[in-house]
Structure 1
Amino acid sequence: MSVPADRYYTKTHEWALPLGGKRIRVGITKHAVEELGDITYVEIRPIGTRVRAGEPIGTIESNKATEKIYAPISGIIVERNREAGVVEEGSEEFGAGEIERIADDPYGSGWIAEIEADNPEELNNLLKAEEYEKLLKS
C-alpha cells in the first residue's frame, strides 16, 4: 500500500500534514479506513482544546468498532472538517456533512481536524512515509 510522502504518520494510523506556519492537518490512514469498515460517526474534542501528542482527540465509529483518534502533535484544535461530518464532542449537532469522504478520500477531502502546533518540530518524532509502509508490512 502506497501512502503520500508529504506527511508524517503514527503507529496508531493517523497522519499529519504541515499546512504552513504551525498549522497541521490531521486524518486517518487508508489502512485505518480499511480496518474500520463503514464509518458512521466522527467526533473530536471542542475547538480550542489543548491536546498533547499521543492523547485522544476524538472517536470514530463504524459498523465494526469504535476507535480513538490520537493527536500526532501537541497544540490546540483549531478546526474540524464539517464537510466530512466531523462533529464536536458535547455538541447537539449530528454530522451533517458527507462522512463517506473519510473512507473515499482519507488523504484529501476526508481529513478530520487541524491543530495549531506548539512546536512543529515534534513532527520529526513521527514516522516518514517509507517507515509507515514498513510498519504496515510487518
Structure 2
Amino acid sequence: MPADRYYTKTHEWALLLGGRRIRVGITKHAVEELGDITYVEIKPIGTRIKAGEPIGTIESNKATEKIYAPVSGVIVERNKEAGVVEEGSGEFGAGELEKIADDPYESGWIAEIEADNPEELKNLLKAEEYEKMLKG
C-alpha cells in the first residue's frame, strides 16, 4: 500500500498531485471486497462536494457501493481510460474497468478534485494507520 497517500475509513485513497489537485481512488482492500467491477459512475465534472459526501457509485458482481469524497472541493476530472462515466450522461464506460481492480493505486484512479483546502488531507489516515484499521 503506497505510503504517499492518505486513506479513509470507507476505503478511498487520496493523493496530492500538486497545488490543490487531489487524485482519488479505492483501495486494494475495497477491490478485493467488491469482486468483479462492472460499472463506475461519478457526479458530473464541476460538481461541488464536501468531504465525506458520496461522489459516485461503484458496481460489482457482489455489491453496489458509494465512493466518498476524502476532501471538499470541485470534481475536475474522471478517469475515462478506466471506464469511469459521469452520472446522467447516458454513456456506458468505454474504458478498461480492469485497471481499477488490477492497479487501484495508479492507472485505476477514479476522479480528481480541486480541493478547497488540501490541509483536510491531514484528517485522513496515513498508510500505517489504515493498515492497522484493517487488521482491527
Between the aligned partners of 1:114 and 1:99, the Cα distance in structure 2 is 17
Q: Map residues 4-43 of structure 1 onto 2, 5 A cutoff.
A: 4-43=2-41
CA deviation map 1:95-116 (0-9, x unaligned): 0000110000000000000000
**C-alpha distance in 2, partners of 1:113/1:99?**
14
Amino acid at match of 1:126: L
Q: Look up the match of 1:76.
A: 74
**Which position in structure 2 is the counterpart of 1:95?**
93
Alpha-carbon RMSD: 0.3
1:70-121 Cα deviation digits (max 9, x unpaired): 0000000000000000000001111000011000000000000000000000
Q: Distance in 2 between matches of 1:92 and 1:62?
A: 19
Distance 1:35 1:133 in 2: 15
Q: How big is each residue's C-alpha offset from its partner over 1:37-74, in whole Å with a ceiling of 9 and x where there is no partner?
A: 00000000000000000000000000000000000000
2:103 corresponds, among 98, 102, 105, to 105
Greater than 4 Å deviation, 4+ residue runs: none
TM-score (ref. length: structure 2): 1.00
Question: Take 2:86 and 2:133, find their aligned partners in 1: how far apart are those partners?
Answer: 31
Q: Give the 3-state SS of the residue equivalent to 1:78 in structure 2.
A: strand
* Structure 2 Cα separation of the partners of residues 62 and 122 of structure 1: 30
Unaligned runs of 5+ in 1: none
Correspondence list, 1:43-58, <5 A: 43-58=41-56
SS of match in other structure, 2:76: strand
**What TM-score does the superposition give when structure 1 sets the normalisation length?**
0.98
Instruction: Say how many residue pairs are matched.
Output: 136
The separation in 2 between residues aligned to 1:115 and 1:95, in whole angstroms, is: 20
